[in-house]
Chain A
Amino acid sequence: MDFKPVSLSTSPLDQSWYEASARARLAGLLDADTFQEFIGPEQRMMSPHLPLFDLPRAFDDGMIVGRGLLEERPVLIAAQEGRFMGGAFGEIHGAKLVGLLRAALAVKPAAVLILFDTGGVRLQEANAGETAIAEIMRAITQVRTAGIPVIGLIGGRAGCYGGGGLIAGTCARLVISEGGRLSVSGPEVIETNRGAEEFDSRDRALVWRTMGGKHRRLIGAADAFVDDTIGAFRKAVLAAIPAAPSFDLATLEAEQARLEARLDRFGDARDATEIWGGLGIADPAAVPGLTTEGFDALLARLPEEPHHAR
Chain B
Amino acid sequence: MPDKMALEAILAALFPAGHAVTVSDGLITGDGPLGAGRIAVVGIDGNTALGIEGACHLAGRVLDVVRAGGETPILVLIDSDSQRMSRRDELLGLNEYLAHLAKALLLADAQGHPTIGLLYGHSAAGAFIATALATRVLVALPGAHPSVMDLPSVARVTKLPLEKLEEMARATPVFAPGLDNMVQTGAVQAVLDPTRPLGPQVAALIAQGAAADIRDTRDALGCERGGRPLAHDIAARVVREAQGA
Interface residues of A (CB under 8 A from B): 38-39, 45, 48-49, 52-53, 65, 67, 76, 91-92, 94-96, 98-100, 102-104, 106-107, 121, 123-135, 137-139, 141-142, 145, 162-163, 165-170, 182-185, 189-190, 193-194, 198-199, 210-211, 215-216, 219, 221, 247-249, 252-253, 255-256, 259-260, 262-263, 266-267, 269-272, 275, 310
Query: Within the complex, what minimum Cβ distance (angstroms) separates A78 from chain B?
Result: 10
Which of B85, B87, B100, B232 has most chain A Cβ within 10 Å?
Answer: B87
Contact of B242 among A95, A106, A248 (CB under 8 A): A106
CB <8 Å contact, A183 and B95: yes
CB <8 Å contact, B235 and A102: yes
A65 to B95 Cα, complex, angstroms? 24
CB <8 Å contact, B158 and A76: no
CB <8 Å contact, B63 and A38: no
In this complex, how many residues of chain B approach chain A with their Cβ under 8 Å: the count is 79
Contact of A91 among B100, B160, B230 (CB under 8 A): B230
Which of B100, B158, B234 has most chain A Cβ within 10 Å?
Answer: B234
Contact of A92 among B111, B173, B234 (CB under 8 A): B234
Contacting A at CB under 8 A, from B168-191, are: 168, 171-176, 181-182, 184-187
Contact of B229 among A48, A129, A193, A263 (CB under 8 A): A48
CB <8 Å contact, B216 and A39: no
A191 to B172 Cα, complex, angstroms? 30
Which of B129, B134, B154, B236 has most chain A Cβ within 10 Å?
Answer: B129
Contacting A at CB under 8 A, from B191-238, are: 214, 216, 218-219, 222, 227-232, 234-238
Query: Within the complex, what minimum Cβ distance (angstroms) separates A282 from chain B?
Result: 21
A179 to B60 Cα, complex, angstroms? 33
Query: Within the complex, what minimum Cβ distance (angstroms) separates B167 from chain A?
Result: 11
CB <8 Å contact, A103 and B95: no
CB <8 Å contact, B92 and A267: yes
> Across the interface, which residues of B come within 8 angstroms of A266, CB to CB?
92
A135 to B216 Cα, complex, angstroms? 7
Q: Say what secondary structure dominates the interface of chain A.
A: helix
> Across the interface, which residues of A come within 8 angstroms of B106, CB to CB?
137-138, 141
A36 to B125 Cα, complex, angstroms? 34
A219 to B129 Cα, complex, angstroms? 23
With known contacts A165-B95, A166-B129, A248-B107, A256–B100 Cβ distance under 8 A: yes
CB <8 Å contact, B93 and A99: no
> Across the interface, which residues of B come within 8 angstroms of A128, CB to CB?
174, 185, 222, 227-228, 231
A238 to B108 Cα, complex, angstroms? 31
Q: Which residue of A lies closest to B164 (CB)?
A: A53
The stretch from B3-11, B16-24, B25-33, B51-59 touching chain A is B51-59
A98 to B238 Cα, complex, angstroms? 9
Contacting A at CB under 8 A, from B64-95, are: 66-67, 83, 85-95
A143 to B94 Cα, complex, angstroms? 24
With known contacts A126-B154, A210-B90, A95–B230 Cβ distance under 8 A: yes
Would you give 20 A-B contacts (Cβ < 8 Å), ordered by A? Answer: A38-B241, A39-B234, A39-B238, A95-B219, A123-B158, A124-B174, A127-B227, A130-B133, A133-B129, A134-B187, A137-B102, A141-B110, A169-B96, A183-B90, A184-B94, A190-B86, A193-B85, A199-B87, A249-B111, A259-B56
CB <8 Å contact, B187 and A100: no
Q: Which residue of B lies closest to A55 (CB)?
A: B158
Q: List 9 extra interface pairs beyond A219-B93, A221-B93, CB under 8 A.
A: A45-B230, A91-B174, A94-B231, A123-B175, A166-B102, A183-B95, A198-B86, A260-B56, A310-B99
Q: Which residue of B lies closest to A193 (CB)?
A: B85
With known contacts A128-B185, A134-B187, A221-B96, A263–B242 Cβ distance under 8 A: no
Query: Within the complex, what minimum Cβ distance (angstroms) separates A273 from chain B?
Result: 11
